[in-house]
Structure 1
Amino acid sequence: MVNKTEQSTPPAGRFARLRSTLRLFYHSPSPKAQRFQFAVLIVDLAIIAFFVVTPLLRDNPAFLWIDYSIAGLLLLDFGARALASTDILRWLRQLPVIIDIFILLTLLAPTLFFNLGFLRILRLWTLSRSANIWRPLKKHGLGGYQDTIQAVINLLVFLFIVTGFVYTAFANRSDGIAGYVDALYFTVATVTTTGFGDITLPGTWGKLASIVIMIIGISLFVRLAQSIFRPNKVHFPCPQCGLLKHDPDAVHCKACGHILNIPDPGHD
């Protein structure tokens, strides 16, 4: 006879325990969870580095093997993060998750999405929206630099997306763009409005693309300058109106006037 106490745990119970364990690993501030989150972050940064140099490695015989291996890693991470969420359907509707799904599709079908591969760098943007990257920074008192770091990431992502677009759409068709480095050189020169004129995009569409690149690039540079030179804000929700950001020495909420009690990290 089978002892009831020795019966196996029902599948539903094992599944719930798996989700609970993954939730702890991905969202808990415990030392063990933070080590796991740091390892995931390192893998993510290595994958992003691969995305940046992809145009230079595309002709390598091992490229597809690396591509599919990264697809497997991201698929595993994507499934684990889905199980770690409290509401999977709500989680799937978030913009960073939708972008990650698209990136995963470009990895699983690199031939079909060949001309859209440069959008994989958006993985860096979605990573910057994850709490896992900011939790250790805030723990070490660097949370005040979050706006500056995000502004730098936004600028870098824009530069590499535009570089990939220019390389894909205009390589060997415009004056001077014969490779990826030429496309990057043109992008930086256009974004900074230096405009040496030695490399230009042909035709009306090329001029329109250059105009859009300059306008968005200048906006991102201004945003970066503001985050560097303006006083840092602290994240402290107002109990009255919910405003999240205040000056470090604020006594009253600038939106509703409610008295604030912002903790000073410099004092115990």
Structure 2
Amino acid sequence: MIRFYLLDHRTVVGKAIDIGLLGLNLVFVAVFVLETYPLSSAVQEALWQFEVAIALVFLLEYVLRVYGARSRVGELTDPYTLVDLVAIVPTLSVWLLPVPALAANIGFLRVIRVVRVLRFYRFTRDEEFFFGTVSVGTLRVMKLLLTVLTIFFVAAGMFYSFEHEMNPQVATFADAFYFVVVALTTVGFGDIIPVTQAGRAVTVAAILAGIILIPWQASKIVKEWAHRDQVNVVCENCGLAYHDRDASHCKSCGHVIYQEYDSRE
């Protein structure tokens, strides 16, 4: 029952869970961004309590997913489950440490908090969403856009974490995000530059990630478009799938294949 509702996209309860988790993801990310701005101590405390509450909800979701899985070992090693865990570990670690103020200033914990944006990848796991089913091509376009935004956001978060104390030009997350977008799009205005070794390393890593991941995702979309006019007919002789609509023979082995084709198309 637990597994069904966590994976379901069609029933009212399943849709409500999907929408609720998506909304909490957005709020979780928004809280991280807001915390980089100068706010009153009361607002900062309220945001922190809100962040802990959301992290506890995600922890409950994590436990239920593992508990309701057919293979708990498989679920624990699933990349999406690992991302879910890594996304909440920083917040829960700061919350559970004896001295919260000290824990909040631990650089490593502050840096890895930006990975919470990776939780959005769980919603692109398959073609079914709470609003319906999308095509494979649409899903791949969504993954490409999410990959671009993830690279920008994670790089900006890490750049801010390393630079904001040493670099007066990086006062908020918006400054860091602006720099990353300008750097990765090769515009290079030069009004913001990294002053720390870690900041430079983040910039280089973000550029390399963009060079590798974005073309990889884009190639999948191109392949999907290249095969969209083909028919999923499998050759009985060699097993090749997907042939042109008007093909009468397999283009790999020459075996006769049967498929209906309307010459008016």
Q: State whether TM-score is above 0.5.
A: yes
Q: Is the CA contact 1:128–1:153 (under 8 Å) kept in the aligned structure 2?
A: no
Superposed CA deviations along residues 182-219 of structure 1, whole A, max 9, x for unmatched, are 00000100111111111001255544433332232234
Q: Is the CA contact 1:248–1:262 (under 8 Å) kept in the aligned structure 2?
A: no
Query: RCO (CA 8 Å, sep 6+): is it higher in 1 or 2?
Result: 2
Report how far residue 248 of structure 1 moved: 8.2
Indicate which of 207, 211, 221 corresponds to 1:218: 211
- Rounded to whole Å, the distance in 2 between the matches of 1:43 and 1:214 is 34
Residue number in structure 1 paired with 2:193: 200
C-alpha spacing 1:64/1:89, structure 2 compared with 1 (3 Å): same
Superposed CA deviations along residues 42-95 of structure 1, whole A, max 9, x for unmatched, are 122222222332234335221122112212211222222223321111211112
Query: Partner amino acid for 1:54?
Result: V
- Rounded to whole Å, the distance in 2 between the matches of 1:23 and 1:258 is 45
Q: Is the CA contact 2:160–2:176 (under 8 Å) kept in the aligned structure 1?
A: yes
Matches within 5 A, 1:31-180: 31-32=10-11, 35-58=12-35, 60-110=44-94, 111=100, 112=103, 113-129=109-125, 131=126, 134-136=127-129, 140-174=133-167, 176-180=169-173
Residue number in structure 1 paired with 2:4: 24
Larger displacement relative to structure 2 (249-258 or 149-158): 249-258
Alignment root-mean-square deviation, CA: 3.9
- Rounded to whole Å, the distance in 1 between the matches of 2:24 and 2:67 is 22
Report how far residue 257 of structure 1 moved: 8.5
C-alpha spacing 1:102/1:198, structure 2 compared with 1 (3 Å): same
Q: Which runs of 5+ in 2 are unaligned?
A: 95-99, 104-108
C-alpha spacing 1:46/1:152, structure 2 compared with 1 (3 Å): same
Percentage identity across aligned positions?
22
| Paired positions, count | 237
Q: Is the CA contact 1:145–1:232 (under 8 Å) kept in the aligned structure 2?
A: no
- Rounded to whole Å, the distance in 2 between the matches of 1:262 and 1:136 is 32
Residue number in structure 2 paired with 1:11: none
Report how far residue 159 of structure 1 moved: 0.9
- Rounded to whole Å, the distance in 2 between the matches of 1:170 and 1:141 is 41
C-alpha spacing 1:100/1:125, structure 2 compared with 1 (3 Å): same
Q: Is the CA contact 1:128–1:150 (under 8 Å) kept in the aligned structure 2?
A: yes
Q: Is the CA contact 2:6–2:17 (under 8 Å) kept in the aligned structure 1?
A: no
- Secondary structure at the residue paired with 1:62? helix
Q: Which runs of 5+ in 1 are unaligned?
A: 1-20
Residue number in structure 2 paired with 1:183: 176
